[in-house]
Amino acid sequence: MSSTKAELRISYLANRKALSADELNRRNALLLTRFIDFVQQQTQTRSLQLVHTFLPIRRQNEVDTWPLIHWLWQYGVSTAVSVTDTETNQLMHYPLTADTVLTENKWGIPEPVIQAQPTIDPTAIDMVLVPLLAFDRQGHRVGYGKGYYDRFLASCRPDCLTVGLSLFESVERITDVSDTDVPLSHCLTPSATVLR
């Protein structure tokens, strides 16, 4: 089935909010297992030193990335997160450690409280975990419609893994993909690892 981004945004926001707490926990646990397998497979052939992740908006029933983050730290991989600059419509990237102080922005996204630490250049990132509402079999995604992640992903290295995390399976095709949309290299769901 083919759909527009606007149609998918409405239906998948509703689908996600309709998940019970038990079902959300079940899907997150399956995603964690799939993510661990994926990372261990990738590190057999490539160096994975820095992973950029999103932090979940709890009220939106987003994928819970915290178990993934804690596993990465135990696995010896550093993590980074973003702060949204609404004046420039860009994401600024900073280290995420166990000591990072977080505060929610106006959209409910946890962000680090910035002191004086330098930003991380996107070209230093080996993998980006990308939030999404829906995705298709070609690796295109539907986010919240602001374009922050497409601008960010366009500035990453060509060999950077761009990995969508989805609580639902793929749709067949998103019909209104634009030239500025950056397709994902992989997408992980509770039951599948999808490659573009």
Question: Is 148 part of any known ligand binding site?
Answer: yes
| Type of residue at 90 | Q
Question: Is 7 part of any known ligand binding site?
Answer: yes
Question: Is 164 part of any known ligand binding site?
Answer: no
Question: Is 143 part of any known ligand binding site?
Answer: yes
Cβ atoms of residues 35 and 29 within 8 Å: no
Spatial CA neighbour of 180 closest among 147, 155, 146? 147
Question: Is 172 part of any known ligand binding site?
Answer: no
Question: Is 144 part of any known ligand binding site?
Answer: yes
* Cα–Cα distance measured from residue 137 to residue 74, given in angstroms and rounded to the nearest whole number: 32
Question: Is 12 part of any known ligand binding site?
Answer: no
Long-range contacts of 150-153 (CB under 8 A, 24+ apart): 150/180, 150/181, 150/182, 151/89, 151/90, 151/91, 151/180, 152/82, 152/90, 152/91, 152/122, 152/128, 153/128, 153/182
Question: Is 8 part of any known ligand binding site?
Answer: yes
Question: Is 111 part of any known ligand binding site?
Answer: no
Question: Is 62 part of any known ligand binding site?
Answer: yes
Question: Is 6 part of any known ligand binding site?
Answer: yes
Question: Is 145 part of any known ligand binding site?
Answer: yes
Question: Is 94 part of any known ligand binding site?
Answer: no
Distances (CA, A) of 174 to 2, 51, 155, 170: 6, 27, 23, 10
User: Which residues are documented as binding site for ATP?
Assistant: 5-9, 141-149
User: Which residues are documented as binding site?
Assistant: 5-9, 55, 62, 141-149
User: Which residues are documented as binding site for substrate?
Assistant: 55, 62
